[in-house]
Structure 1
Amino acid sequence: MKTIYLIGIGPGDPDALTLAAIKAMRRVDVFFVLEKEGEGKDSLIRFRREILERHASDRPYRIATGASPKRDRESADYAGAVEDWRKRRTQVIADLIDTEMADGEIGGFLLWGDPALYDGTLQNLHDLIADGRDDVTFEVFPGITCVQALTARHKVTLNRVGESITITTGRQIETGDPAAVTNSVVMLDSRDAFRRLADQPDMDIFWGGDVGTPDEVLIAGPLGDVAERISRTIQDQRARKGWVMDTYLLRRRAPKGG
């Protein structure tokens, strides 16, 4: 049997790893890294290697890399494009397990934030096993999410009394009903979707770019007042290093006297 560990490593701060994650890392024989195309990928891989150098034990381990398939982001069939990408990614993972692991060994993926929040690797392994792989099992080690890091850095609570909290994507903010946005954490926004709500006079934003890293930037205030500043910051970060990981909380102010 081959065992895979999915290890949440937090949003970017090496100090944000849990003790359980560190203990798991110290049992891994081979760490898998899926390399993405584009600018900025080297720094993402380098961070994982720094995590290993800092937290892995002196026990020998190997690093095996594979090419992460590129997703068609222009397809009109969004769900179909995601499904196709997921199948191709599952095959890359299966090939790594076959070629880089011996029976009885433990393989590990170091995953940003938490493996259960907007990361496809957990589903990849479910798909792999559903396809008939009875020689593979896996365990999940949760991590600190960018959502938790964002609210901690802004010193705000995630929820308010008597309200729910929604975790959604930039795509949903861009196309959904603005009136439905009351208390929402937005992730995976590659299109500055918050600008669509900049005319909402009672909307605040708590934005964070690369939270928990040396490049961290925090901006908060009435959305209409700071939307342009956030957009410029995103552009500057992308121009400087090729990418930015940003998360934000959109929160509608309660009516006065309410």
Structure 2
Amino acid sequence: MYELNLIGIGTGNPDHVTFQGAQAIRAADLILIPRKGENKADLAGLREEIIAQVTETTPQIAYFDIPKRRAEDGYLRGVDEWHDSIALRWQEAIAAHSQAKQVALLIWGDPSLYDSSLRIASRLEPQPKTKVVPGITALQALTAAHAIPINEIGAPYLVTTGRRIRDEGCPAGVEKLAVMLDGECSFQSLQMDDYDIWWGAYVGMKEEILIHGPLADVAQRILDTRAQARADHGWIMDIYLLKKRGN
């Protein structure tokens, strides 16, 4: 039996790794690193850089390919089947290194906020003992980069996805919302004159890009900047915060 450690590594800046995270990396016998195609090779490279920075002797690394997600049977079913496939890749990689007792994955952001690593880990057979090392989230990095608090005094905020914004709009009574996992810039579906936006891509990394202003004024700039950055790097990670104007 092995122990599985899901280690939050922040948003791409090696300095985001906590002392606890560094200790967990050093304690690992085996680290699994996903590959997502040639255009995203630098994501694996960043993980390798972090490992090299915090270890004197590099632990054994096993690479696995992330399967493509199917969408033809609906979003939720597609995600469910995708997680099954990823769990199988984990299991195959671990089985090929059966001597490993401490297995780790370096998770972008935090394994317990808008990440599916814990759901995937629950599908492993037999079930390992799973530990989570928390990391800096994209939401924390975004608000820090813009030097703003996410909350208003005594007021709630919503963390949601681009898909839900696109399909349902902004829920009634919500004045401030953080939007994650939005590959289609779903803020375009809102009444843009009603919002201010704080947008960031590659937040916390040397490639960091930040844009802030009235949504109606900066929306096209965000679209153009995002498209160019994706073309330049072959991938993009971005997040944004919306606030209703006049509140």
TM-score calculated relative to the size of structure 1 = 0.91
Give the structure 1 partner of residue 116 of structure 2: 120
Divergent runs of 4+, >4 A: none
Give the structure 2 partner of residue 51 of structure 1: 50
Deviation, structure 1 residue 29: 1.1
Deviation, structure 1 residue 85: 0.5
Native 8 Å contact 2:169 2:189 kept in 1: no
Structure 1: stretches of 5+ with no match in the other structure: none
> Does the alignment pair 1:36 with 2:36?
yes
Query: Matched residue of 1:157: which SS?
Result: coil
Task: Provide the aligned length of Structure 1 versus Structure 2.
Answer: 246
The separation in 2 between residues aligned to 1:83 and 1:178, in whole angstroms, is 26
Change in 2 beyond 3 A, CA 1:60/1:229: closer
The separation in 2 between residues aligned to 1:50 and 1:192, in whole angstroms, is 31
The separation in 2 between residues aligned to 1:178 and 1:111, in whole angstroms, is 29
Native 8 Å contact 1:30 1:101 kept in 2: no
Query: Which AA in structure 2 matches 1:53?
Result: A
Query: Matched residue of 2:188: which SS?
Result: helix
The separation in 1 between residues aligned to 2:93 and 2:237, in whole angstroms, is 27
Query: Matched residue of 2:105: which SS?
Result: strand
Q: How does 1:1-258 map to 2 (within 5 A)?
A: 1-37=1-37, 39=39, 41-56=40-55, 58-72=56-70, 74-102=71-99, 105-128=101-124, 131=125, 133-134=126-127, 136-178=128-170, 180=172, 181-197=174-190, 199-255=191-247
Native 8 Å contact 1:29 1:60 kept in 2: no
Deviation, structure 1 residue 59: 3.6
Native 8 Å contact 1:6 1:138 kept in 2: yes
Post-superposition CA distance 1:31-84 (Å, at most 9, x none): 101211352x2110110111011112x245111011111102x42511111111
Post-superposition CA distance 1:162-188 (Å, at most 9, x none): 211111111011111346352111111
Query: Matched residue of 1:71: which SS?
Result: coil
The separation in 2 between residues aligned to 1:60 and 1:184, in whole angstroms, is 41
Native 8 Å contact 1:6 1:109 kept in 2: yes
RMSD: 1.5
Native 8 Å contact 1:186 1:248 kept in 2: yes
Change in 2 beyond 3 A, CA 1:191/1:143: same
TM-score calculated relative to the size of structure 2 = 0.95
Structure 2: stretches of 5+ with no match in the other structure: none
